[in-house]
Amino acid sequence: MSKPATALVVEWLDSLTHARRLSPHTVRAYAASLHSFVAFLVDHIGGPVNDGALAALTQNDFRAYLAHRRTDGLANISVAREVSALRSFFAWAARQHGIVCEGLAGLASPKIPRRVPRPVTPADAVALADGAGDTHDEAWIAARDTAVLLLLYGAGLRIAEALALTGAALPLGETLTVSGKRNKTRVVPLLAQVRAAIDAYVALCPYATGSALPLFRGARGGPLAPELVRRAMAAARTALGLPASATPHALRHSFATHLLARGADLRAIQELLGHASLSSTQIYTAVDAARLLDVYRDAHPRA
């Protein structure tokens, strides 16, 4: 008996959430891509979209869909994400339901130039953390924003990892256990300055810090929203005259770049960042090379 494509997509998304434990953000992006694809096919093939219709799709059908998406203004990087979502779905469909679609095999994904992260200097990283605190009248909120940004730079955390911390992390020691992507845990060292900033925030915070409660709180006591961290960073970089590339995630880039510049091993940086693949970490060698070229151009009389 044939199975509707919409039901297959729902089953696949469920497997991404519970079996593969992908982040909610990734699952939402994949859901948008596949629901858009199925909606396109309804008009494109002029009939019901079921497992048989999916298996019969040709490369021209996929190209028609991507061309349709480009009319929505999608850039190469977004089109590449669409292709990635389709490949993931059809690979799952082949494994779980025997739906083999030959049309996807030769579909090329647009080439995306790999962007080199733009780190901030160590002095600017600290100034941004301090400056974020200066934008608030309430002392505990100022201390909170400073603590979060210092944590991103001092330990190389993603925003989601920092905001997922609970009171179970207290009292702080020389290391911190972090739950990253796909619930993988890693242990990162905590600098004395970072511990002091978090302790100062906890001492001022008007809300309880129980082991099951969020460590970083919003003004009304709920979990701190990532957007509030980005706003605090934006206000601080504007006050300091820094470029828009100075984002909270740039602090994580800066953590890795500065460690590499001081001679840290690439494998060690991979572990600290929680990268599954070393190739994800190797981008920081390009960052360091770019910094050296800047120094060379500024200093060499013939540059």
Show Cβ contacts of residue 127 under 8 Å, excluding neighbours closer than 6 positions. Answer: 236, 240
The residue annotated as part of the active site, out of 87, 97, 230, 249, is 249
Which phi and psi angles does 96 have, rounded to 5°? -85, -30
**Is the alpha carbon torsion for 81, 21, 209, 254 positive or negative?**
negative
Nearest to 127 by CA among 231, 257, 237, 232: 237
Catalytic site includes residue 300: no
The residue annotated as part of the active site, out of 217, 252, 253, 258, is 252
The residue annotated as part of the active site, out of 81, 144, 158, 258, is 158
Catalytic site includes residue 25: no
Show Cβ contacts of residue 217 under 8 Å, excluding neighbours closer than 6 positions. Answer: 144, 205, 207, 223, 224
Catalytic site includes residue 87: no
Burial of 106 (0-12, 13-18, 19+ CB in 10 A): exposed
Catalytic site includes residue 181: yes
Catalytic site includes residue 3: no
Catalytic site includes residue 249: yes
CA dihedral 158, 160, 166, 170 (to 10 degrees): 10
The residue annotated as part of the active site, out of 3, 70, 181, 291, is 181
Catalytic site positions: 158, 181, 249, 252, 275, 284
